[in-house]
Structure 1
């Protein structure tokens, strides 16, 4: 557990007279447990929902420093790039405006412009008066699960070679099938 980040967040909430309901407190604590939790907190009461807290996991994932990210809009336009789907960004924007939970898969970019496939989840945090006062935005990196098979790495194993050449019309498929037939005889 990273006591520095959770202490800061709870102090931030307390100092802004945001009393979190117990159900939200339990929900929040699940995100603070792992040291590398990747999340932001944004202020739900100000236009553009400025970022008020940046986790270590977020800075590690995106390579942006805290100072570069603080007070930027919660939609994180600094992470958008050519492959970022604008309709997904609109979905996130609507979640902020309607103060509702949402999760989407979107391509975002590191500071060095490396694309990442990210599962983004927005969770509204309410006070005792049932007003949304903060948004918790989590980021889960799915890039490793979305990488296409590279032909070179696919050929290093029989199953990979078969997957890479599974088009029945390809010469590689014929070659694999021919070699299999010869070896079987």
Structure 2
């Protein structure tokens, strides 16, 4: 589902680039031991279906709720129990119909980047997240344009080499190194071009 609720600035940018979905592809792979080719993203303008699972018998189980992230979060945190949550309750009759479409991966290259990172390994997934956080911050502070975000991330991903991340300390050290490299690229190497934050 594409968010229809109020978000912070960083998450709003990640939603616009679909990096939020790219990171969810990576999360689904690691949390559920799911092969990347079995993970799909759909654009769902009503933001009612938060996730779906296709079973081998052809049935589909969907987690649905009002356009409010408190519902799926409460569902995940309380499982297998159920807890009361504040906010609107889902009224399917009022919504009328649900629609889904395949995202445009040319317009939203973050999705393809997520699958490439999963093929490369955990180090690339760390690099994707770190470079994105730095690039989005640079956009929000008007140092780069919106379309520069993915250019910056692509540059960093193509420069990264396979690194074994055997501990949380390794992950933190690598994350910090990628952040520093991304900042340096933005300061000196990125040809800044387009659409500054307003």
Q: Is the TM value for this pair above 0.5?
A: no
Q: Which has the higher strand share?
A: 1
Instruction: Specify which structure has the bigger relative contact order, considering alpha-carbon pairs within 8 angstroms and separated by 6 or more residues.
Output: 2
Higher alpha-carbon Rg: 1
TM-score, length of structure 1 as denominator length: 0.26
